[in-house]
Structure formats: structure tokens, C-alpha cells
């Protein structure tokens, strides 16, 4: 059976899209995918070297620490000035860099992971909402995780808690913004083969994980970017407040 790896076909032509954590992995794949589909893309990250490289021919790179309210406010003001509005916000920034248990988690680890994975979603969404309300197709797309839905593998306590918070916050956004026509949904990936996963899990762990997935493989950043396209398009106009699983069948509800 041939696996489809190219971008799915959903119409986002002319839409203005902001993507956090866009310098690498899923964010970079999403930026390229939306640009190829005709969207105007703003790539938000703190990794200037890789961010500017990805942005070349794709969109506009903006340096921003998404855990800092003042920087977030300035960044979205720049988007408003440059593009006159915003149609789609993809809160993708996040992650963790060391598998750990409760006893190994320091206060600093906890604060940093919660800020990057959860606080950033709140700050960026809060800054983007005024523009999304003026859009004919306002979309908030948050990246959660299987780690925020169930505990079936080792990750990090703060990461699991933060991603569960992302799913809950998504529902709050959806409930509050639905009367104004803005949708909010989360995507819960699992086992996506990014540079971070290569750092966090060794080859034996990755092979064991792949065997546990009914589709028999890790996901690719492109697999996730394709779902973003659906959620950003008119095809998803009646979908809001949901957490969509993209996990190869690893966890089924």
C-alpha cells in the first residue's frame, strides 16, 4: 500500500496564518505546507538561524519568546501592521527534552515546560483573538498530545499536565468564541518522528513504539501538517471544541 506523504488538498488560498515553533519539525512542515497552498505565513520562533532558513521563500520570520507576554503582544502587533489581520493561529511551540519521573522533576523544569506548552497557547491566542474576530474564517489550532489524554508511555509530568491543559483550554476558547464565528480545536499527535524525538528516545525505544502503533510506523511532520490544513479550511467550519487524534491508531477512544 502506498503511503500518502504530500499535502492534502484543502483550500486556504490567501489566508493569513501564524505558526509558533515554526523553525523545526512539525512547525516547519506546516509553514511550508501552508505556503504551498497559497497562504501568507508568519513563522514565530526563537531559533533565528533555522527560522530564517525555513522562512526563505515561505513566509515572514518573527523572533518571539512565546512565554513572554510583552514579546507576544509586540509580535502580533507586527502581524497586524504587516498583513492587516489574521485568519489562522497554530499554537505549535512546545515539547520536553528529558524523560523524567515525578521525583526527578525540578521546579525549574516544571515552570519551563508548563510555560512553553500551556502559557504560550494562552498568550498567543489572547493576542490573536481581536484579529481572528475580524476574520471571515477565524481559526485557533492548538497542538496537544497523546500524553495529555492518557498515560501509556514515559514522558515528563509537566509535559503531560501541560498538554491536558491545552485540551481543556481549547474547549474554553471554542465555547467563548463560537458565537462570534471563531473555531478552536486541538490536535493530539503521538510518535511523530522529529529531531526532538530522536534526542529524547533511543533507537530501541523508537522501534518498540513503532511496533505498538497499528499503522506500523511513526507519524511524519507532514502527516500533522495535513490535519492543520483541514482545520484551517472551510471543510472544518462545523468542527470546534474538539481534540482530534493523529496517532496512527496508537490510542483509540
Counted residue by residue, the chain has a size of: 253
Q: Starting at the earlier edge strand, list the strands of the sheet with 183-189.
A: 59-63, 40-45, 16-20, 88-91, 139-143, 183-189, 243-246
CB of 19 within 8 A of CB of 30?
Answer: yes
Report the distance separating Cα 8 and Cα 1, nearest Å. 18
Active site includes 159? yes
Q: Specify the DSSP element, H or E, that contains 187.
A: strand 183-189
- Which one is catalytic: 159, 175, 218, 238? 159
Q: How far, CA to CA in Å, does 165 sit from each of 106, 121, 144, 184, 234?
A: 20, 10, 9, 14, 27
Catalytic residues: 159
Amino acid at each position: 500500500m502506498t503511503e500518502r506523504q504530500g499535502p492534502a488538498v484543502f483550500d486556504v488560498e490567501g489566508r493569513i496564518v501564524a505558526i509558533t515553533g515554526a523553525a523545526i519539525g512539525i512547525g516547519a512542515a506546516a509553514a511550508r505546507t501552508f505556503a504551498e497552498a497559497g497562504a501568507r505565513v508568519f513563522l514565530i520562533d526563537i531559533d533565528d538561524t533555522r527560522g530564517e532558513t525555513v522562512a526563505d521563500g515561505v513566509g515572514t520570520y518573527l523572533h518571539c519568546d512565546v512565554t513572554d507576554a510583552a514579546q507576544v503582544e509586540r509580535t502580533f502587533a507586527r502581524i497586524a501592521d504587516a498583513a492587516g489581520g489574521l485568519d489562522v493561529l497554530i499554537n505549535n511551540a512546545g515539547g520536553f527534552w528529558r524523560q523524567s519521573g515525578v521525583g526527578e522533576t525540578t521546579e525549574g523544569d516544571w515552570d519551563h515546560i508548563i510555560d512553553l506548552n500551556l502559557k504560550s497557547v494562552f498568550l498567543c491566542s489572547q493576542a490573536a483573538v481581536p484579529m481572528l474576530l475580524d476574520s471571515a474564517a477565524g481559526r485557533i489550532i492548538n497542538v496537544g498530545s497523546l500524553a495529555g489524554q492518557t498515560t501509556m508511555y514515559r514522558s515528563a509530568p509537566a509535559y503531560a499536565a501541560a498538554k491536558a491543559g491545552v485540551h481543556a483550554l481549547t474547549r474554553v476558547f471554542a465555547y467563548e468564541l463560537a458565537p462570534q464565528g471563531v473555531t478552536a480545536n486541538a490536535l493530539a499527535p503521538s510518535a511523530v518522528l522529529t529531531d526532538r524525538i530522536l534526542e529524547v528516545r533511543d533507537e530501541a525505544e523508537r522501534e518498540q513504539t513503532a511496533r505498538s502503533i497499528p499503522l506500523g510506523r511513526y507519524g511524519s511532520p507532514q502527516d500533522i501538517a495535513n490535519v492543520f490544513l483541514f482545520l484551517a479550511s472551510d471543510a472544518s467550519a462545523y468542527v470546534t471544541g474538539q481534540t482530534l487524534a493523529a496517532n496512527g491508531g496508537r490510542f483509540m477512544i
